[in-house]
Chain A
């Protein structure tokens, strides 16, 4: 007891400088560091790149530069931080602050020259973060031996079953064939099976009937659509800029178009990766390779007038780096953009090393014609050019624009010179437009010249009065030009990026603030992962190759885990977007590693992996809950059954369109705008967001083609948990809400599917109501109804018939048209019955 008190007293003595004596590092300073700073800036942690337990490191400083400037305590960041001179920034951030005496001691010590005698350094106790399981290479072990060998269809099953057997649990029985074909069809094509396909499979007695079905589904062009949508979640794909103005991106779809094709032809995942991360840097890069790199263009663009272009550039590069980290490496690297996190494997400096791969990129748009476009375009081009030239001449554009150009350039160089309106003229020029403006007019391409003229016509309004602008008739001219262009065949365009020749150096940004650059960094990869083999200045292409190199422990694991998640509802690692030290450990680590190594052995063939997984016995199990497992394995971590999964937002739409035969099955192409209630876009900013309903067959396209407007997304998508596409989404929510019920019950679009479904049943199946009920179940749910279900359905027809007797006007409203030979009341009964079927939980669920 006594000794403890003495020690405490001695310690407190130590912590205050002894009056009258010069400051002594060992007595007055080091104990303060040890007590208040080492926890984060010492042997265990090197937050913000700063260590205070070693002389050289401490004097060298951290990410923001030197923190101790001998002789100048007021300029030393160390003093600024511990004394909290800057609002909101004080060290230590939690726990007891330094006492005024301690701060004084540090101040005096620095002013007296920061003398730091040589002394034994604190022993390094850093836990090696690379010991984390996911940073070690996947270890391939042979599938374990199991007792129930007859249940094993492929090695996947051995891994799953071994664990089940250890728990004394058996696989669930295989699902019936109706369930199997619907499951496969929804998982691989995203569409319910056609009645003929169901009949064919149910009757197919060949031993490999299932495998044949799998091949049939994998070969469908709809496979690419289904799996493109999963990838678009990761790519944060949208058809608009996001942020305030949220302008449309008319060419965004071209990337999606490429994606669908790439998946359909089973492009190997390594190549798929390289093209998207750095296709533009491949030797003699093709248009398609550059289109693939459009992956990076899905980042948001803030076009608010007051935005700082440098800020935007930095934010976009930050987003690209963190997206690549999350999509391919399954790491939440973006968390490190502001500061180090104690337990995260990636430091802030390492994040900015990743960032440095992306910071040289600038955005470019390119012609990316689809097959068949070039011929008609070239043929019509001269006439279009002539039309455009005539219109511009008619409105006498050339002299005005010629006068405007140098003045706009001067306003940009010398803001404030001509006043606010001319400042604005420069402000509203987008990056590429500024580049064009600064080019010698003789050296501009036709396309560039057109672009600048279009900008001029719109924004000349900034520098003349409203009356003058009106008198010039530019608004009318712009409409004429747009109409003219619409009348001629055009080439598809695409968004991509390219590295600039002499990029500015990248820096650690203190607290993520672009105005506060810290130390400079070169491109580099995180230390916990195997080093990159590349030249002195690696670029994005080197990064892409490093990501898919066999030595990278994460890429294949992360990819196969997402496949598992799609087929079973939950990944083997349930935090699909976080394989880092804060993520959840895999339920079946050996299986995960086996799949990861298998993926590489199969030369990164995605289709082949999909085939492997869906052919496993594990996948083919029934999804019914097992009473005996409800308490033992409530989350089905052991995979003792399949899982019922509510369909994704787009597939809910697709299922209704498909069952009612309204679906337009075209694959690829531009985004469409199916009808939505009037006034939806009023919630967007100003009147920037326009939504003109698509016409004709475009109204019935699959959900993934719906134009995604970031600030006011299509309501049905959001109601059913589609991601908002501002950040990569590695796992979708599946909620159940009353808004979903209202959407399916009352949305005119869905009601139309009920009407069409009713008509389809009556058209395609002649016979009794009972026969037709059976057919309706087959169309909607892909199965034959039970006796109880048939009885209940028949009862409904009776009941609904009674209601219509009391509401004689209702049938004509429910089905305004007529179907030959079907009385209006019967038709209406079928509409209401169909509406109920298309609202069943089972209809929007993959079982």
Chain B
């Protein structure tokens, strides 16, 4: 099926749903038969109707905590006493041969991490002292210390992580998931993007629908002004006036529908009704007045440092409760080329407790089993130091490192309380259980009930998929 056929079918279906009322199903079956659709196609009645995955899913929703800029794994997740030994020395040439680095030279000196790592939880997972919140949830998370990727610059790295290719034009993960599963919410978008901190290198390509119909594009919720662009009516337009205007729009559109017979008009009518519903459901979503003080405290909604990220984490939970399929929560930037120590501390203060609260809260509400939470950035950082201003103490940072980095996952389908993968003494290369970003994507789709090789869309004569031509489900991560 190509996009025009897809579109034609969905609008016709929507028309029957919107206009034919109880007859919808019958009329639909009739049209389907006429169109001679295959069984595969009949599973897609409306672009956003909930659909079944290939097999029984563990997770229904995803919250992807995208830590843009690449957090330093050797200071947060992957303790490397070996770095002490190498501290101040360049790496042996055998390691740095053919090495490509963004800013520093292969001869750069190794920098030991100043952080203290301690075992956490029953499982004894070692985590940095910068992550006390996460440490308290250690038994819920699966920490992967053996992630790797192919790109070592931000935008390409983000494209690869989010869309499976460093080339432009591919749908993002959220778009794929929404295409595969549809939406559980009648009043909110299926794929929502939240951000705190700065903007990201990837910008709009991080939530693009690529060649998929634009219905699957992520909808950005904004932190200032209207949460959804143009959500509030103009000054002077009361909800009564809004309704009376929309009634006129609907009636005149229906006149035109009767005149032309164009089912696109039925879609247009339905889209205005959904917009009207969003005008009341989105503010309700943002209204935290019914949340307990304990919940607000847990997410740090009222503390300056944690407010932006904590608010978004709480929003993510509320969205999942309301059927939003894929919440992409971005926090920028972890790109600590300089002032690593200070910068990491700030970032962790802003995000650690809220992220831990999200896991705890989801768990307490029985939502964690059906919600997959993923935390991570587009690559990692070098064990070597980057010095931009030699004269200034505390200026040390780390460069981009695609060969080994860490991410964690929790919830639907994931086996918590374990560490997967191992890197060498200095965290430079992976020595056990390599997980490519395509493998991560395959595993995420698996948790959602998809065989990643079969979730495809035909474009330019080829069946495209999120994992390009690679990807392997990493069973070790799974419950």
Q: Mark A residues whose CB is within 8 Å of B.
A: 87-88, 93, 243-244, 246, 300, 302, 304-308, 332, 335, 341, 343, 415-416, 419-421, 423-424, 427, 462, 465, 515, 570, 574-575, 577-578, 580-584, 623-627, 631, 634-635, 644, 646, 677-679, 681-687, 689, 710-713, 715, 718-719, 721, 724, 726-727, 733-743, 745-748, 751, 786, 788-789, 792-793, 796, 799-800, 803, 806-807, 809-814, 828, 832-833, 835-836, 839-842, 845, 847
Whether B208 and A681, one on each chain, are in contact in the complex, defined by CB atoms closer than 8 angstroms, is no
Bound: A444/B79 CA distance, A: 53
Our pick among B5, B234, B251, B267 for the contact of A746 (Cβ within 8 Å) is B234
A748–B234 touching, CB < 8 Å: yes
Q: Is the CB of A738 within 8 A of B272?
A: yes
- Kindly list chain A residues whose C-beta atoms are within 8 Å of the C-beta of B11: 736
Cβ of A796: which chain B residues have Cβ within 8 Å of it? 244, 248
B462 with A624: CB separation less than 8 A: no
Q: How far is the CB of B274 from chain A (nearest CB, A)?
A: 4
A677 to B227, CA, bound (A): 11
The docked-state distance in angstroms from the alpha carbon of A748 to that of B229 is: 11
Complex Cα distance, B104 from A743, in Å, reads 46
In whole angstroms, what is the CA distance A809 to B235 when docked?
11
Q: How large is the interface on B (under 10, 10 to 19, 20 to 34, 35 or more residues)?
A: 35 or more
Q: Closest CB of chain A to B11's CB: distance in Å?
A: 7
Collect the chain A residues with CB atoms within 8 Å of residue B156's CB. Answer: 302
Q: Which residues 440-479 in B have Cβ within 8 Å of A in the complex?
A: 460-462, 469-470
Complex interface: chain A residues within 8 A of B399 (CB):
306
Are B278 and A789 in touch, CB under 8 angstroms? no
- Bound state CA distance, A555 and B275, in angstroms? 44
Q: How far is the CA of A306 from the CA of B101 in the complex (A)?
A: 7
A738 x B154 contact (CB < 8 A)? no
CB pair A711 B238 closer than 8 Å? no
Q: Which of B105, B217, B236 contacts A814 (CB 8 A)?
A: B236
Q: Which residues of A contact B460 (CB under 8 A)?
A: 332, 335, 575, 577-578, 582
Return the contact of B238 from the options A246, A712, A807 (Cβ within 8 A).
A807
| B387 interface contact, C-beta 8 A | yes
Q: How far is the CB of B200 from chain A (nearest CB, A)?
A: 6
Specify which chain B residues have a CB less than 8 angstroms from the CB of A811 in the assembled complex. 236
Report whether B256 and A842 are in contact in the complex, using a CB–CB cutoff of 8 Å: yes
Are A246 and B102 interface neighbours, CB within 8 A?
Answer: no
Which residues of chain B have C-beta atoms less than 8 A from A792's C-beta?
A: 248, 251-252, 255
Q: Are B271 and A304 in contact (CB under 8 A)?
A: no
* B interface residues with partner A (beta carbon < 8 Å): 2-5, 7-8, 11-12, 31, 34-35, 100-105, 107, 152-156, 168-169, 195, 198-205, 208, 213-215, 217, 219-220, 222-226, 228-238, 240-242, 244-246, 248-249, 251-253, 255-256, 259-265, 267-269, 271-272, 274-275, 278-279, 332-333, 386-392, 399-400, 434, 436, 460-462, 469-470
Given the contacts A789-B255, A792-B248, A828 and B260 also touching, CB distance less than 8 Å: no
In the complex, besides A424-B388, A679-B225, 16 extra interface pairs with C-beta distance below 8 angstroms are A246-B203, A306-B103, A332-B461, A419-B390, A677-B225, A677-B229, A686-B333, A711-B199, A734-B7, A738-B272, A738-B278, A741-B274, A742-B230, A745-B233, A800-B241, A832-B244
CB closest chain-A residue, reference B201? A244
Whether the pair B34, A631 counts as a contact (CB closer than 8 A) is: yes
Centre residue among B156, B249, B256, B390 by max chain A CB count within 10 A: B249
- CB pair B103 A307 closer than 8 Å: no
Give A424 to B395 CA distance when docked, in angstroms: 15
Contact B200 A335 (CB under 8 A): no
Q: Are B260 and A742 in contact (CB under 8 A)?
A: no
Separation in Å of the A337 CB from the closest CB of chain B?
9
Interfacial chain A residues near B155, Cβ < 8 Å: 243-244, 302, 304
Closest 4 CB pairs of A and B: A582-B461, A306-B102, A711-B203, A813-B236
22 pairs, A vs B, C-beta closer than 8 Å: A332-B461, A420-B103, A427-B103, A570-B4, A624-B262, A677-B230, A685-B201, A685-B203, A689-B199, A727-B168, A735-B214, A737-B214, A739-B275, A741-B275, A748-B234, A796-B244, A807-B238, A810-B241, A836-B245, A836-B246, A840-B249, A840-B256
List chain B residues, Cβ under 8 A from A462: 388
Q: Is B268's CB under 8 angstroms from A736's CB?
A: yes
Known: A246-B203, A810-B241. A739 touches B228 (CB 8 A): yes
Given known contacts A306-B102, A683-B195, A741-B272, is B262 in contact with A644 (CB within 8 Å)?
yes
Partner of B199, one of A307, A712, A807: A712
Tell me, in angstroms, the Cα distance from A304 to B333 when the chains sit together. Answer: 14
Given A677-B225, A746-B230, A746-B232, answer yes or no on A685-B200 (Cβ-Cβ < 8 Å). yes
A684 touches B225 (CB 8 A): no
Most central of B219, B229, B400 by chain A CB within 10 Å: B229
Contact residues in A for B198 (Cβ distance below 8 Å): 682, 685-687
Nearest-neighbor residue (CB-CB) of B158 within chain A? A244
User: Which chain B residue shows the least CB distance to A809?
Assistant: B236
**Among candidates A243, A423, A713, A718, residue contacting B105 with C-beta atoms closer than 8 Å:** A423
| Complex partner residue of A733 from B204, B213, B262, B274, CB under 8 angstroms | B213
Known A583-B461, A678-B224, A786-B255: A306·B152 in contact at CB below 8 Å? yes
Contact A735 B215 (CB under 8 A): yes
Shortest beta-carbon distance, A257 to chain B, in Å?
26
A420-B230 contact given A582-B460, A789-B255, A828-B236, CB 8 Å threshold: no
Q: Cβ of A624 and Cβ of B261 under 8 Å apart? A: yes
Most buried by A among B105, B251, B278, B386: B251
B100:A308 contact, CB within 8 angstroms: yes
Say whether B244 contacts A800, CB under 8 Å: yes
When distances are taken between beta carbons in the complex, the residues of chain B under 8 Å from A745 are 230, 233, 242, 245, 275
Q: Tell me the minimal C-beta distance from A80 to chain B in angstroms.
A: 16
Cβ–Cβ contact B204 & A88, under 8 A: no
- What are the residues of chain A within 8 A of B219 when measuring CB–CB? 739
Could you tell me the distance between the alpha carbons of A746 and B279 in the complex, rounded to whole angstroms? 11
Cα of A483 to Cα of B238 in the assembled complex, Å: 46
Residues A420 and B104 in contact, CB atoms below 8 Å apart: yes
Contact indicator B105/A582 (Cβ below 8 Å): no
Contact of B400 among A306, A335, A343, A574 (CB under 8 A): A306
Q: Which residues of A contact B226 (CB under 8 A)?
A: 677
- In contact, A789 and B103 (Cβ under 8 angstroms): no
A738 pairs with B275, CB closer than 8 A = yes
Is the pair A580, B461 in contact by a Cβ cutoff of 8 Å? yes
State whether B391 touches A712 (Cβ < 8 A).
no
Chain B residues within 8 Å of A845, by CB: 264
Rounded to whole angstroms, the CA-CA distance of A305 and B397 in the bound complex is 15
Instruction: Give bound CA distance, A244 to B222, whole Å.
Output: 20
Given contacts A87-B434, A737-B214, A751-B234, contact A634 B100 (CB under 8 A): no
Among A88, A307, A841, the residue within 8 A (CB) of B264 is A841
Find A839's partner among B231, B233, B249 (CB 8 Å cutoff): B249
Min CB distance, A640 to chain B, in Å? 13
Contact status A746-B233, CB under 8 Å: yes
Shortest distance between the CB of B142 and any CB in chain A (Å): 23
Given A306-B101, A421-B388, A738-B271, A635 and B230 contact (CB-CB distance below 8 Å): no
> Please, which residue of chain A has its CB at the minimum distance from the CB of B212?
A733
Cα-based distance from A575 to B228 in the complex (angstroms): 34
Q: Which residues on A sit within 8 Å (CB–CB) of B279? A: 742
Q: A634–B203 contact, CB under 8 A?
A: no
CA distance A686 to B200 in the complex (A): 7
B244 touches A683 (CB 8 A): no
Residues of chain A lying within 8 A (CB to CB) of residue B223: 679, 682
Chain B neighbourhood of A836, CB < 8 A: 245-246, 248-249, 252
**Distance A712 CA – B248 CA, assembled complex (angstroms):** 34
Assess A306 versus B153: contact at CB under 8 Å? Given A419-B387, A788-B255: yes
Q: Are A304 and B153 in contact (CB under 8 A)?
A: yes
Say whether B235 contacts A420, CB under 8 Å.
no
The complex places the Cα of A412 from the Cα of B388 at a distance, in Å, of: 16
Instruction: Tell me which residues across on chain A come within 8 A of B222, comparing CB atoms.
Output: 677, 679
Q: List the A side residues contacting B31 at CB < 8 Å.
A: 631
List B contacts of A736 (CB < 8 A). Answer: 11, 264, 267-268, 271
Bound-state CA distance A742–B259 (Å) is 26
